[in-house]
Structure 1
Amino acid sequence: MIRQILGSARLILQILLVVAAVVLIYMWNPMNVFGGKAILKPTANMVSEIREIGQMITAEYYGEVLTSIDEVQIDFQKEPEIAQLAEATYDIIAEEIINLRNFHLLTVEQRLEIGDPEKQLKRRDRNKILVDKVGNNNVLEKLNYLGDWEQTSRLIFFEEIMTFIYLKQNGKSDEITDPLRENRLRKTLKEWYGSEGDNTWDPATFTTDYFASKLSDRPRSEAKKRLAMIGRGTVKAGFDFEELQSHMYYLNEEVGELHIFGLAPKILNADINPWFIPEKGIPGFDLLSYNGKVDFKDSKKVKIYAVQKLKTNARKAGIIEQAELNGGQTIGRLINLLTDVEVKKVFFHHDELIDLTKEIQEDRFISYEEATLFENHLKSELEKIDSLREATADRYNNRKLADTKWNTMVQMLKQLQTYEFESQVSPYNYFATLWYRIAKDGLIDQEEWLAIEGENKPKTPQKEQYEKLWIGSDSLLLKSQFNEGLYQIIKDSIPIGKYIPDTLSLQKWTALTAVDSNSIFKEVTFLPEEKVAYYHFEQDKDTKEKLTQMIGLEKYQPLEWENWITNKEVILRIPKPDTVNTLKANSSMFWLVDKNAVDQLIQINIPLDQLTYPLLLSMGGQDKPYTNMVIGNHIVFKSSDNLSLELESPNSNPPSGLSQKQLEGLEAHLIKLYTDHDSYHNRDFLTKANRWFTSKMESKAGILDKFK
């Protein structure tokens, strides 16, 4: 009995030792055999968790402001904007005066040749405008005739600036009130013309005088109002994490550095409550002066203006800078909590590209100037990325930082390529600014021609990288965008050539411009000894023929292509076409026949002009509107009155100006369409299941993106 008990105890002890050994080994976890401990890593889930925080206040400003009904009526907050606009108008007026001075540096004969080459002015007017010296009696006439004075005189603050200049010229301290009478305007302009350096202008003094005049110009009922109050309130600044996206940060775990791109602090709230410190009885608003002429609406306007002033004062006090400093520390602790990575430093990269993108997105329209500035920023950022990737020191982290910058640029471009660009039909794209420049001046000069020609030449690694930034790996899209723009140029018959420098005597130049109104000139310069230097545009007809051969015949839009491929009814195969006698013309479809497989007719239920340019194929115009065309080993049909006959003798005459290479490119495009369609609808079970699973995952990611 005792022996059995001892045997059982030995067994139990062995079991306990084995269990203890397993537990110890599991807790020790050599080489992470059992996996690491459960911690959160910086993934898209982390971004979602941070977004859920919403707004995080990292700085507060407490202050008081003195506000009156006078400030509300005049809106002193607009002082910087008014100073900027006034400065711009002043510069334009000054340019008109300088141009007038330069004109009178020429001899009388030169002024007559330039100002009245066809001698259309009456003698009195010619003398007054072109011959006589500048004086009070002719300064306005000279400015109107030689410049764009009519437009200049309509600019904002023109009248106020001229009154300001008049007062300063005459040493008067009067307020800017009514516009100058004509005789005073003439005198002011004459004195301005005569003084080489005008020191009477100062934007700050002008805005002070401007506001003083606005106060005096108020209606009597408004001027009688008296209301002033002190406002005490709080301004809060911090971060809005709802704007955070996964490409906007990079966490260097090795050195504990967090780099944040495009997420900047901003004012989140500004308010003046009825009670500033309730427990001490300090109100939010203290009324200083009041008369019976003001009403509730006036009081409300003053209170709103007080909040605006409070925000302005907070900015001047550095609330944004303080919010970033405090925010870096808070965000570092937050990341440490989520990822178990100690963040020692947080760097905010105030990315100009992101700021510019947000500014462009405000009106959901892209101008040429905005696009040019944006593209210059892109190229500058690519140079920085190349430097980071080529750096030999700290290669891993520099490359991770380069990848973050790249992903940011890709996201910015994706957003902007959905917006309208100038008056173009297509949204903003890689070639948009090139086509706009050509359309604007109505010609293709040598620089633009080289840019077009370069698209069909081998590309440098830098250019390939820049293109990839725009379209990813979809090379069909870039080629299609190029074709679309080039087709419009060919359609509009835009001339091609280059500018040739030349020099003529003033007399010959005058004669040339009098009889030749079609020539295009630029950079015209009047030289001493009555000579004129200029550039004239010379057309190159041989180059225009090359342009036609550069265009690809393919059209492509990714979303449309995807829809065509997935829709089974888009492409139908009709066996035994010898049983089909006619093909009725239908603008929403066309047919294909492979000459090596004439026993099958392929019906494509897509308008032909969505895949190519029928006019270039002579299949859409009134001049020789062919109903069929041989393209490589295929025959394209738009219609047919006798299909069997036309299959035996199709139209094999190549369209004028098009090369065999262009036709082969179109054939490959059409083959890809129906082979991709066949492949999609003839998938095996495993392929379909895999695609279904992938689409579900992409859909899930898309849903998550909406909440990022």
Structure 2
Amino acid sequence: MISLLFGNWRFLLDVLLVIALVVLLFIVNPFGIFGSGLQLGTTTNMVTEVQKIGQLVTAEYYGEVISSLDESRIVLIEENNTQQLANELYVEVKYALYDLYQYQQIPERERRENFLAENRRSDGLKRKALQNVRRSNIIEKLEFLNLTDSLARHALYSPVIEFLWRNKYLHSEKENWNPDARTEAEVLLNLYQELTTRRQSSEDEAFQDYLNDGFEFVASFRDFFFGEQKSALPRAERKKQLALVGRGWVKAGFNFDQLDENSFYLHEETGELHFFGLEPQILDADINPWFIPERGVPGFDIINYQGPVNFKDAQRVKEHCIQKLVFYAHQAQIIDQAQQQGAETLKSFFSLVTGQKIQRVHFHNDILTQTVKEIAQDEYINYYEGLLLDSILAQESRRVDSLTQAVTNRTSNEQLTTELDSIRRQSLRRLRKLRFEGTDQHFNYFSTLTYQIGLDSTVDQHERQLLKQVRWNMSHAQPSDQHQLVAYKDPRFWYEDSLKFMMEYNAALRHLATMNVQVVDTFLVNLPNNERAFTDWADSTKIILDYWSTDSTTTINYQDVLSRDTTFLSQLRYPFYYNPEAFRKYVSADTFITQANTPPSNLKSSFQVYDKKRQQLTSVALPPELFFDNQLLTQDAIQAGPSFTFILHSSFQSLKVTKSKEYYLSEAQAEELLIYFQLLQSYHQAEQSKGTIVRASEWVRKKLTYHTDSLTPLDQFRKFLSPAP
């Protein structure tokens, strides 16, 4: 054996050297060939792992409740809930009547002018605006001032009016309640007269206390309401009596079924895990037939039973017991406990899954996150939801600015601003996948702007200036110049690829063009509020109401409303087209850019660029529809500045042609087309300069890692186009 080893020592040494070399290569990992290990970032794989959890129970509540058949009929879970709601409604009624009182204090002439300004006809002028408050007009006056819409829809409005009629104005039990407008007007007028007397005889503070106080008398609205509900039941139902004791449990935690890759974010450097829109909720509540089987403790005990009670009655009481149990669990702060315990559990779980210790877990359920969650429910965004989102984002920007400018607590403020930026980025990333109203495009930075411009089918001088302002200027090198868009709204979180951002701008302009908007100028005219001015305004088809005051009305007038400027929108469009997948496919090819002598006979799958200064013809192996904006595809050739000509079709046979056969871009568009072409050249050259080992390394890294955070050469190209703000 020993002689065998000595006889083959060279072979054994070679084997050991090869093994050592492989181990050393794996440890050193040149060019990142073996990646950085199997790491699970915020990817679809991680989402799948989390979704497998299903529901995570992090808090439980066990309790005992008592419910009766009478109680279940009117769903009184909290002892004073109905009483409190009635008191709040009574306060709202008093405030509505006080608004009416204040309106009546306005001089009669001003009330007349206001009425005529809002109503082109004078029908109802006296009853609604000029007369004193009476039983015959009080409801009509309240409706005219839009003071009763929310009140009348309240479920307790009619019972509260009857309660006041019986207990405040002392109508006997023998008098039948007639729920008509006349009886309602009687109650409201009595209350209005009482309020008027109080206002005239009380100090401000005492009157404010009167407005905010609930019912002033001893009678309980809850007892009244309970009695009314019970008396409305058939006689046989009123004889039924059933009361149960229920013992059960409530479980709270997290539901991961709807989780997606935009719902959470792992910050690897700090070990912090952020969840967006994920909040603890009641997962289950139940009362089993046996609460503790081994001790013979039942889930339900009957403590009172009378009359012809049936199975449905028992089922109703049992369901009410569960509702009560959930209510008491909320009172015991089960949701807060679920979030605290959930943070610890998720910390341990994600530490195990990612192989990295999670230091903290953050749940983001602020107004932006909640709004985004509600907007995304129907997978569709309408115009008003877009406006709401813009408003909330503006508030968040002001909040971040105040934190950034604060002198104290800089460290914690920086961390908080980073979290807030992450919330905005993740929220918009989620919404940009949804369709927007009136278009076949996904929601983006320009959606609400183009919708608003298209509402009146015109583009006036102010809107034209705004369209120019939100256009990203590629030729500017300074980040401050790039973000002139901030004057409209902050664009930082609306894009991850600046080239796609520009394509979204082109799509917005195409959408306006399909709406056949007219480019017009407008001017303002101020008219006195007299009969002649109103007649002129009503008969005109070229003006719209803009602002109204007591003395005058301001209108917007259209100039040259029938003229159409067909070049404005086309001149704003970027002259190139960008598709990320096509970009990667074609630009990395060895034969993407080659030198040519003459235009080929077939240019369907390529185009050519002629440099007049260098007398050089370059062939680009990219279909024209994947490089040029679609409005340029019908041209044979495109002149970009004095030196460059882009040849699209083989019908362009000569490089020395007249201007009539070429399409000339604007100065800005020509510069942008050249910048885009030169950057494609730069990226192609960078790809070709890579060695075989580097390319293989990138391929292996792509296969071995799940990370999406590392910058590819294409990402570096995009960063060059759009420097960080």
Bucket of the pairwise TM-score, normalised by the shorter protein: 0.5 to 0.7
C-alpha deviation, 1:371, in angstroms: 4.2
CA gap 1:505/1:206 in 2 versus in 1, 3 angstroms: farther
Q: Which amino acid aligns with 2:699?
A: W
Contact kept? 2:135, 2:186, Cα under 8 Å: yes
SS in 2 for 1:409: helix
SS in 2 for 1:287: strand
1:105 to 90, 108, 117: 108
2:186 and 2:588 mapped to 1: Cα distance?
77
Q: Which residue is 2:666 aligned to?
A: 659
Contact kept? 1:251, 1:259, Cα under 8 Å: no
Q: Which amino acid aligns with 2:67?
A: T
Q: Which amino acid aligns with 2:108?
A: L
C-alpha deviation, 1:233, in angstroms: 1.1
C-alpha deviation, 1:68, in angstroms: 3.4
SS in 1 for 2:318: helix
After superposition, residues 533-548 of structure 1 pair within 5 angstroms as: 533-539=552-558, 548=569
2:56 and 2:129 mapped to 1: Cα distance?
68
2:557 and 2:390 mapped to 1: Cα distance?
30
Indicate the larger mover: 482-491 or 240-249: 240-249
After superposition, residues 454-469 of structure 1 pair within 5 angstroms as: 454-456=469-471, 458-459=481-482, 463=486, 466-469=490-493
2:91 and 2:662 mapped to 1: Cα distance?
61
Q: Which residue is 1:512 aligned to?
A: 536
Q: Which amino acid aligns with 1:534?
A: T
C-alpha deviation, 1:404, in angstroms: 5.0
1:193 and 1:654 mapped to 2: Cα distance?
76
Indicate the larger mover: 370-379 or 189-198: 189-198
After superposition, residues 111-126 of structure 1 pair within 5 angstroms as: 114=117
C-alpha deviation, 1:366, in angstroms: 3.6
1:176 and 1:627 mapped to 2: Cα distance?
88
2:572 to 546, 551, 563: 551
Q: Which residue is 1:432 aligned to?
A: 447
Contact kept? 1:236, 1:270, Cα under 8 Å: yes
1:71 and 1:557 mapped to 2: Cα distance?
66
C-alpha deviation, 1:314, in angstroms: 0.7
SS in 1 for 2:699: helix
**Any idea what the Cα deviations from partners look like across 1:150-189, whole Å, max 9, x if unmatched?**
9889856597379458737745587999883344355556
Q: Which residue is 1:692 aligned to?
A: 699
**Any idea what the Cα deviations from partners look like across 1:578-607, whole Å, max 9, x if unmatched?**
756xx9xxxxx8985545688979783859
CA gap 1:555/1:365 in 2 versus in 1, 3 angstroms: farther
Q: Which residue is 1:480 aligned to?
A: 503
**Any idea what the Cα deviations from partners look like across 1:388-431, whole Å, max 9, x if unmatched?**
78899998887666555544433222112112344443222223
C-alpha deviation, 1:223, in angstroms: 5.5
Q: Which residue is 1:68 aligned to?
A: 68
Q: Which amino acid aligns with 1:415?
A: R
CA gap 1:156/1:689 in 2 versus in 1, 3 angstroms: farther
C-alpha deviation, 1:315, in angstroms: 0.8
2:175 and 2:669 mapped to 1: Cα distance?
69
Q: Which residue is 1:167 aligned to?
A: 165
Q: Percent identity?
A: 24
1:176 and 1:422 mapped to 2: Cα distance?
56
Contact kept? 2:381, 2:437, Cα under 8 Å: yes
CA gap 1:129/1:662 in 2 versus in 1, 3 angstroms: same
Contact kept? 1:593, 1:600, Cα under 8 Å: yes
C-alpha deviation, 1:307, in angstroms: 2.0
CA gap 1:479/1:505 in 2 versus in 1, 3 angstroms: same
**Any idea what the Cα deviations from partners look like across 1:564-587, whole Å, max 9, x if unmatched?**
75999xx9999986756xx9xxxx
SS in 1 for 2:433: coil
Q: Which amino acid aligns with 1:454?
A: Q
1:485 and 1:411 mapped to 2: Cα distance?
23
C-alpha deviation, 1:354, in angstroms: 3.5
2:411 and 2:340 mapped to 1: Cα distance?
28
SS in 2 for 1:468: coil
After superposition, residues 147-186 of structure 1 pair within 5 angstroms as: 155=153, 157=155, 160=158, 163-164=161-162, 167=165, 170-172=169-171, 180-185=179-184
CA gap 1:467/1:113 in 2 versus in 1, 3 angstroms: closer
Contact kept? 1:89, 1:156, Cα under 8 Å: no
Q: Which residue is 1:409 aligned to?
A: 424
1:112 and 1:213 mapped to 2: Cα distance?
42
Contact kept? 2:400, 2:420, Cα under 8 Å: yes
1:71 and 1:381 mapped to 2: Cα distance?
45
Q: Which residue is 2:5 aligned to?
A: none
C-alpha deviation, 1:447, in angstroms: 7.5
1:421 and 1:226 mapped to 2: Cα distance?
56
Contact kept? 1:520, 1:536, Cα under 8 Å: yes
1:591 and 1:341 mapped to 2: Cα distance?
49
C-alpha RMSD of the superposition: 6.2
Q: Which amino acid aligns with 2:248?
A: G
Contact kept? 2:502, 2:574, Cα under 8 Å: no
SS in 2 for 1:434: helix
CA gap 1:322/1:149 in 2 versus in 1, 3 angstroms: closer
Q: Which amino acid aligns with 1:247?
A: Y
1:154 and 1:560 mapped to 2: Cα distance?
58
Q: Which runs of 5+ in 1 are unaligned?
A: 1-39, 527-531, 584-588, 620-625, 703-708
SS in 1 for 2:494: helix
**Any idea what the Cα deviations from partners look like across 1:457-516, whole Å, max 9, x if unmatched?**
7255994994332212x1122222233334444544266667748462434543433433
Output the TM-score relative to the length of structure 2.
0.63
Q: Which residue is 2:547 aligned to?
A: 523
Aligned length: 624
**Any idea what the Cα deviations from partners look like across 1:297-329, whole Å, max 9, x if unmatched?**
544443333223211111112222334455667
Q: Which amino acid aligns with 1:287?
A: I
1:84 and 1:676 mapped to 2: Cα distance?
71
Output the TM-score relative to the length of structure 1.
0.65
Q: Which amino acid aligns with 1:319?
A: I
1:676 and 1:535 mapped to 2: Cα distance?
56
Q: Which amino acid aligns with 1:477?
A: K
Contact kept? 1:260, 1:347, Cα under 8 Å: yes
1:564 and 1:94 mapped to 2: Cα distance?
71
Indicate the larger mover: 546-555 or 559-568: 559-568
SS in 1 for 2:60: strand
Q: Which amino acid aligns with 1:433?
A: T
Q: Which residue is 1:622 aligned to?
A: none
1:358 to 373, 394, 407: 373
1:564 and 1:82 mapped to 2: Cα distance?
65
SS in 1 for 2:493: helix
C-alpha deviation, 1:272, in angstroms: 1.6
Q: Does 1:630 align with 2:625?
A: no
Contact kept? 1:113, 1:510, Cα under 8 Å: no
SS in 1 for 2:265: helix
Q: Which residue is 1:22 aligned to?
A: none
1:378 and 1:96 mapped to 2: Cα distance?
34
1:380 and 1:130 mapped to 2: Cα distance?
39
Q: Which residue is 2:291 aligned to?
A: 276
CA gap 1:525/1:271 in 2 versus in 1, 3 angstroms: same
2:442 and 2:183 mapped to 1: Cα distance?
52
Q: Which residue is 2:246 aligned to?
A: 231
1:316 and 1:270 mapped to 2: Cα distance?
15
CA gap 1:604/1:558 in 2 versus in 1, 3 angstroms: closer
